[in-house]
């Protein structure tokens, strides 16, 4: 499969009478967006705001972040099976409004959404302090059940992202990158001496408000399967979950998965990016056994020389991670796993809920329990009412000067387990 | 029929057709300890004790499914439940008093399949 991605660099987002992209500025007609969102009768009201890099702005409680993209010159659509037609994506051409994002905001279950700071010490912990964000703040209809609120908010975010993404259809991109994968035999023929490296992505699927969708299918009901990495860039995988903010993969993370990007960068040079497996993280132990058995089986069938395994979430997914790791190693395929840590505020506790001797190459996204003080911001978009109950917050954590003390858990993407951050250790 | 050990009032009246429901009004930690008793007697865990995507001590509710039959105690299950209890015992977070319905709904969804 071959995907051309044209990046249109967006340097600012502004409200305007008409929606358009011109000279690197994304102009948004607020009324058009409002109308689009309010088509869903479950949403009583929607407010729009803009947050730019460097501003003294705190956004909370954030549910999802989505990058506006569109398919160009074909009948393919972004978010297939979810919003668009279910046709296989990952081929053809895609335009990206790089540097912009749609941020959905609303207290769905009160305790599992996160914070984005656009400046100050918290900004360094979230990639979305560097994007020009159109923030959607939802008010649901009274007594709307949580799972319906989640669905309404999720779909509204995609709708707005597609609406904005379409504005880039006729715009000439600032740069174009091409990503191409080959079948097993052809790749081996082309690069006979390079190792075949695979990628296993674990997707959060623990049930109500913890789900991830692939072509519109709730991944918890799927067997472990394969996907072409370019499909993921076109929105084949979307987030529907409200797990701890620090290590949930937002839809933006999926669209810009750094493991995929880095494997492509070495593809044909140091290695063959030989395939991608997606698996789930279920609650019942039998499901965990089945899914990890299938992960190992597919790795063996694909004859990978090595795989990278990434996790999403923490706690019981650590068990899925270890099962995947040791079973894949047992079929003779070396693994590198990417996870994060819940090692206590002082960092001395056991980092993962489950461990195995086979996990001997581990990359961490950081310690989610580390405490950070976030100074008061001039403006809050959304509400800070939930900031003491969100995962990573605690009682009375607002100080007299208006600053708040939280664990990194509370910040969107702070310890991302795809490695989507700039943090490192010495 | 598998056993459901729970302190979640939502599970109490609604899962009787699926499980032998053992409901008690105790803390989540006490539910874990109750499940530990079963596991040491040789019952198997059907659901993972830390399921739910919430750190220890964040949710007041806990529901765990275990087999009705007991065989030889399984070391992996013992490790899983002991590790979870150790984490809960370390948590100093006061039990939440808000969003109880949300916590109950999430916990219920984990075992209602």
- Per-residue pLDDT tens for A192-220? 999 999 999 999 998 778 899 999 999 99
Confidence category of residue B90, pLDDT binned at 50, 70, 90: confident
Neighbours of A228 (CB within 10 A): 19
Give the number of C-alpha atoms closer than 13 A to the C-alpha of residue A327, restricted to the C-beta side.
Answer: 21
Section A349-358 average pLDDT: 87
CB contact under 8 A, B50 and A286: no
| Helix (H/G/I), strand (E/B), else coil: A74 | coil
Domain that holds residue A170: 2-410
Contacts of A354 in chain B (CB under 8 A): 80, 83
Active site residue A105: no
Tens of pLDDT, residue by residue over B53-69, are: 777 778 899 999 999 99
Largest pairwise CA distance in chain B: 41
The predicted structure's pLDDT at residue A355: 86
Size of interface A-B (CB pairs under 8 A): 93
Which of residues 307 through 326 in chain A touch B, CB cutoff 8 A?
Answer: 313-316, 319
The predicted structure's pLDDT at residue A110: 67
Sign of the dihedral through C-alpha A413, A414, A415, A421: positive
Residue A238 near residue A162, CB atoms below 8 Å: no
Q: Write down the mean pLDDT value for chain A.
A: 94
Omega into A61 within 30° of 0, i.e. cis? yes
Is residue A243 predicted with pLDDT exceeding 90?
A: no
Contacts of A208 in chain B (CB under 8 A): 105-106, 108-110
Residue A121 inside a domain? The answer is yes
Q: How many domains does chain B have?
A: 1
Phi and psi torsions of B64, nearest 5°: -130, 135
Does the interface ipTM go beyond 0.95?
no
Contacts of A286 in chain B (CB under 8 A): 46
Which 8-state DSSP code applies to residue A165?
Answer: H
CA distance A225 to chain B (A): 22
CA distance B26 to chain A (A): 22
| Helix (H/G/I), strand (E/B), else coil: A375 | coil
Confidence category of residue A389, pLDDT binned at 50, 70, 90: low
Which of residues 184 through 243 in chain A touch B, CB cutoff 8 A?
Answer: 204, 206-210, 241, 243
The predicted structure's pLDDT at residue A84: 82
The predicted structure's pLDDT at residue A162: 98
The percent of residues above 70 in pLDDT, for chain A, comes to 98
Lowest mean pLDDT among A132-136, A389-393, A410-414, A419-423: A389-393
The predicted structure's pLDDT at residue B50: 84
The predicted structure's pLDDT at residue A352: 87
* Residue of chain A with shortest Cα separation from B77: A285
Residue A39 near residue A53, CB atoms below 8 Å: no
The predicted structure's pLDDT at residue B93: 73
Section A311-336 average pLDDT: 95
Residue A318 inside a domain? The answer is yes
Position of tokens 């305007």? A16
CA distance readout (Å), A297 to A99, A190, A284, A327, A333: 39, 25, 20, 9, 11
CA distance A360 to chain B (A): 20
Tally of residues, chain A: 426
Q: Do β-strands A25-28 and A57-66 pair in parallel, antiparallel, or remain unpaired?
A: unpaired
Instruction: Measure CB to CB from residue B48 to each of A204, A285, A395 and give the nearest one.
Output: A285
Neighbours of A403 (CB within 10 A): 14
Residue A417 inside a domain? The answer is no
Residue A421 inside a domain? The answer is no
Q: Write down the mean pLDDT value for chain B.
A: 90
CB contact under 8 A, A288 and B48: yes
Is residue A321 predicted with pLDDT exceeding 80?
A: yes
The predicted structure's pLDDT at residue A359: 96
Residue A126 inside a domain? The answer is yes
Tens of pLDDT, residue by residue over A141-188, are: 999 988 899 999 999 999 999 999 999 999 999 999 999 999 989 999
The predicted structure's pLDDT at residue B57: 77
Cβ-based neighbours of A4, under 8 Å, separated by 6 or more: A92, A93, A94, A176, A177, A178
Strand B20-23's sheet: what is its strand order? B20-23, B3-6, B63-70, B43-45
The predicted structure's pLDDT at residue A115: 95
Section A289-316 average pLDDT: 96
CA distance B45 to chain A (A): 8
Confidence category of residue A374, pLDDT binned at 50, 70, 90: very high
CB contact under 8 A, B45 and A244: no
Q: How far apart are the first and last CA of chain B?
A: 14
What span, in angstroms and rounded, lies between the C-alpha atoms of A190 and A254?
29
Lowest mean pLDDT among A213-222, A279-288, A397-406, A409-418: A397-406
Is residue B96 predicted with pLDDT exceeding 80?
A: no
Cβ-based neighbours of A24, under 8 Å, separated by 6 or more: A8, A9, A10, A11, A12
Residue A282 inside a domain? The answer is yes
What span, in angstroms and rounded, lies between the C-alpha atoms of A42 and A40?
5
Cβ-based neighbours of A17, under 8 Å, separated by 6 or more: A29
Neighbours of A213 (CB within 10 A): 23
Confidence category of residue A38, pLDDT binned at 50, 70, 90: very high
Tokens of A255: 């669209």
Is residue A344 predicted with pLDDT exceeding 90?
A: no
* Residue of chain A with shortest Cα separation from B102: A109
Tokens of B113: 């399949």
Contacts of B109 in chain A (CB under 8 A): 207-209
> Which of B53, B78, B109 to mutate: most A Cβ within 10 Å?
B53
Domain that holds residue B28: 3-112
CA distance B24 to chain A (A): 22
Q: Is pLDDT larger for residue A250 or for residue A423?
A: A250
Lowest mean pLDDT among A44-58, A405-419, B90-104: B90-104
Tens of pLDDT, residue by residue over A258-267, are: 999 999 999 9
Which 8-state DSSP code applies to residue A313?
Answer: S
Q: Is pLDDT larger for residue A207 or for residue A338?
A: A338
Instruction: Measure CB to CB from residue B109 to each of A208, A285, A313 and give the nearest one.
Output: A208
Q: How many domains does chain A have?
A: 1
Q: Is pLDDT larger for residue A237 or for residue A385?
A: A237
Tens of pLDDT, residue by residue over B12-37, are: 888 999 999 999 999 999 999 999 99
């Amino acid at each position: 499969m071959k995907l051309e991605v044209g990046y249109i660099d967006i340097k600012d987002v502004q409200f305007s009478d008409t929606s358009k992209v011109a000279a690197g500025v994304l102009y948004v007609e607020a009324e058009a967006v409002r109308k689009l969102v309010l088509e869903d009768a479950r949403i009583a009201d929607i407010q729009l705001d803009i947050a730019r890099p460097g501003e003294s702005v705190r956004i909370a409680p954030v549910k999802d972040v989505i990058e506006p993209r569109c398919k160009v010159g074909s009948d393919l659509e972004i978010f297939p099976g979810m919003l668009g037609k279910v046709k296989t994506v990952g081929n053809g051409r895609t335009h990206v409004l790089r540097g912009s994002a749609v941020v959905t905001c609303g207290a769905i279950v009160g305790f599992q959404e996160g914070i984005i700071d656009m400046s100050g010490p918290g900004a360094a912990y979230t990639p979305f302090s560097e994007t020009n964000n159109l923030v959607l703040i939802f008010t649901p209809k009274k007594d709307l059940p949580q799972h319906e609120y989640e669905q309404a908010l999720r779909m509204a975010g995609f709708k707005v992202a597609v609406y904005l993404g379409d504005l880039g259809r006729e715009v000439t991109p600032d740069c174009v990158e091409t990503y191409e994968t080959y079948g097993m035999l052809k790749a081996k023929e082309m690069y006979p001496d390079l190792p075949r490296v695979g990628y296993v992505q674990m997707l959060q699927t623990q049930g109500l408000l913890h789900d991830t969708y692939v072509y519109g299918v709730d991944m918890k009901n799927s067997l472990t399967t394969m996907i072409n990495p370019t499909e993921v860039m076109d929105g084949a995988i979307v987030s529907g979950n409200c797990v701890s903010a620090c290590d949930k993969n937002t839809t933006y993370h999926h669209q810009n998965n750094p493991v995929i990007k880095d494997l492509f960068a070495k593809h044909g040079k140091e290695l063959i990016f030989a395939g991608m497996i997606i698996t789930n993280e279920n609650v019942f132990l039998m499901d965990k056994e089945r899914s990890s058995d299938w992960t190992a089986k597919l790795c063996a069938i694909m004859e990978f020389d090595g795989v990278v395994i990434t996790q999403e979430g923490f706690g019981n997914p650590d068990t899925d991670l270890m099962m995947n790791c040791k079973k894949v190693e047992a079929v003779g395929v070396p693994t590198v796993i990417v996870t994060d840590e819940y090692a206590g505020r002082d960092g001395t506790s056991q980092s993962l809920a489950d461990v195995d001797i086979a996990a001997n190459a581990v990359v961490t996204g950081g310690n989610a329990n580390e405490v950070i003080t976030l100074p008061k911001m001039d403006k809050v978009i959304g509400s800070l009412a939930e900031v003491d109950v969100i995962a990573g917050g605690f009682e009375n954590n607002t100080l007299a000067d208006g600053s708040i003390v939280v664990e990194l858990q509370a910040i969107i993407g702070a310890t991302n387990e795809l490695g989507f951050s700039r943090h490192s250790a010495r | 029929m598998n056993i459901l050990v729970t302190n979640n009032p939502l599970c109490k009246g609604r899962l009787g057709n699926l499980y032998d429901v053992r409901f008690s009004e105790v803390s989540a930690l006490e539910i874990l300890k109750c499940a530990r008793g079963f596991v040491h007697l040789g019952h198997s865990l059907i659901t993972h004790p830390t399921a739910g995507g919430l750190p220890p001590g964040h949710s007041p509710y806990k529901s765990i499914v275990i087999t009705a039959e007991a065989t030889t105690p399984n070391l992996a299950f013992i490790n899983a439940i002991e590790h979870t209890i150790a984490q809960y015992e370390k948590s100093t977070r006061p039990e939440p008093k808000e969003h109880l319905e949300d916590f109950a709904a999430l916990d219920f969804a984990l075992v209602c399949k």
